Structure 1
Amino acid sequence: MALILPLIRREIAGRYRGSMLGLLWSLLNPLFMLAVYTFVFGVVMKSRWTMPDQHNATHSTGEFAVILFCGLIVFQFFAEVISLSPGLIVANSNYVKKIVFPIQILPVVSAGAALFHAAVSLVVLLVFAYVVFGSVPLTVFLAPVVFAPFVVMVIGVAWTLASIGVYFRDMSQIVSPLVTATMFLSPVFFQRTALPSWLRPWLSLNPLAIPVESFRNVVLFGVAPDWPALGYYSLVAIAVALLGYQFFQKTRRGFADVL
């Protein structure tokens, strides 16, 4: 941990070094994407959302924007870590070749930087939610509990992709469209209830589905997460992380030869 935190700070600072707006980009980028998606789905396509205490999907564009932004926070964390993972070791080959360095922490550092951006976006979301809905539910304090298994899952996948990316450089090109597909096949832009009944259980196979729904429930709707579903997800996340770590440790022996 003593090494991870300084590397996370360096990763965040290095990403915006030399830019005029600096860390402000971590706020402007998600706001820009929010404006684009809100216009496309809320204004042009007129998408609507059924609130937990309502039977009809009627609300303002502002409310839809907040609901959409909440799901995008989860997706952006996932996309940032997973998209960078295949090239993570290749981009830091000096750590592999020249010095003794615990390279297994690199995906953790990447996740830490993405978690910082998610936290910034969450602050913005809470401000918008207070303005639009008039209050923020107390269940928002459960957000870290909901997000933690998702972070563990993503780090496990990142270990796997980072290792494969050393030996198979095309992995970055494969991951990019898969990340986009994962977003559009997750409940970021639609509700589970919008799907046919036979298809709804299969939605949970998407690694974003349960985190997005649970995060939205506790942050915006004041609804407790589905604890059994979150419990199963946590067990799967731990298994993915352990398998990803073991795979990384076994394959890292050949990194220096390939790089």
Structure 2
Amino acid sequence: MTAKQKFGILVDFTKREIQAKHQGTAFGILWMILTPCFLLAVYTFVFGIVFGRTFDKNGQETIYDYAIGLFIGISIYQIFAAAIVASPNVIISRPNFVKKVQFPLEVLPISSTLSSVVSSIFSLAIAIILSIIEYNNASTQLFLLIPVLCACILYSASISLFLSAICVYLRDISQVGSLISLGLMFASGIFYQPKDIPEPYYSVLKYNPIVPLIDSARKIVLWNEPVNIPKLAIINGIGLVAFIASYRVFKFLKRSFSDAL
């Protein structure tokens, strides 16, 4: 099968993933907007109003500022969370693809990742619109969201490939994934800035790629601050290496999928 044919299958399965999530619902694809908006409202009320959290950028931050920053964080985090929670089951839930047909199985976890990226792009678009309306801060810096999203795709696709392959042999991964996802929600700078993390915890959490990606997205969309481009390039480079390594692990383990299933 050629690379062009595989790409066509990937696009087709990504579309199917998006449609399947909302098939038969009254609002359809609008749920891609309604769901993060609901989460935004809940988290803003709890952390912004009840606990009085802010990002403390200038001492004059409003709940509206915090809400947009929170929304950006949730949008980035959801890409990784979807990869961790959904990917372990994408192979074991489709044994027919493994046993009965010649099919590029790597398409399954990657298409799952891309469908979550599409959802997050909708959310980020809302954040951009709200930020421009409130602060009139539209600039060419918004194009820097492209390398941020590229890094998200590389890392989440790496996670999806690795977990989907490992879970064929170790089914407990699907249970552990939900716990890891919950832990990452509070360890990725969604509700706070990286500078708020005290030592020695920061020396560990700084290696979480979600932290700088959320921080960069906020600087681009909300605060209109300079982004550390060399650091962003390094993050993408590491993500590419991780993707290649995960792809090779997947291809190696793929040989025995039919026996394990």
TM-score by length of 2: 0.93
Q: List gaps (5 residues or longer) in structure 2.
A: 1-6
What amino acid sits opposite 2:23 in the alignment?
R
Which residue number in structure 2 is paired with residue 92 of structure 1?
Answer: 94
Distance 2:188 2:10 in 1: 31
1:39 aligned onto 2:45: yes
Query: Displacement, 1:129?
Result: 1.5
Distance 1:86 1:6 in 2: 21
Aligned length: 255
Residue pairs, 1:23-172, within 5 angstroms = 23-51=29-57, 54=58, 56=59, 58-172=60-174
Which SS does the other structure have where 1:34 is aligned? helix
Which SS does the other structure have where 1:228 is aligned? helix
Deviations 1:83-138 (A, max 9, x none): 11111101122111111000011121111111110111112112221233343343
What amino acid sits opposite 1:142 in the alignment?
L
Which residue number in structure 2 is paired with residue 213 of structure 1?
Answer: 215
- What percent identity do the matched residue pairs reach? 29
Asked whether the 8 Å contact 1:85–1:158 carries over to 2, the reply is yes
Query: Displacement, 1:36?
Result: 0.4
Deviations 1:212-253 (A, max 9, x none): 111111122222321232222122211211111111111111
Which SS does the other structure have where 2:106 is aligned? helix
The one of 186, 190, 193 equivalent to 2:192 is: 190
Asked whether the 8 Å contact 1:137–1:219 carries over to 2, the reply is no
Q: List gaps (5 residues or longer) in structure 1.
A: none
Distance 2:163 2:192 in 1: 28
- The farther-off stretch of 100-109 and 125-134 is 125-134
Which SS does the other structure have where 1:3 is aligned? helix
Asked whether the 8 Å contact 2:147–2:236 carries over to 1, the reply is no
Which residue number in structure 2 is paired with residue 18 of structure 1?
Answer: 24
Which residue number in structure 2 is paired with residue 255 of structure 1?
Answer: 257
Poorly superposed stretches of 4+, deviation over 6 Å: none
Asked whether the 8 Å contact 1:69–1:125 carries over to 2, the reply is yes
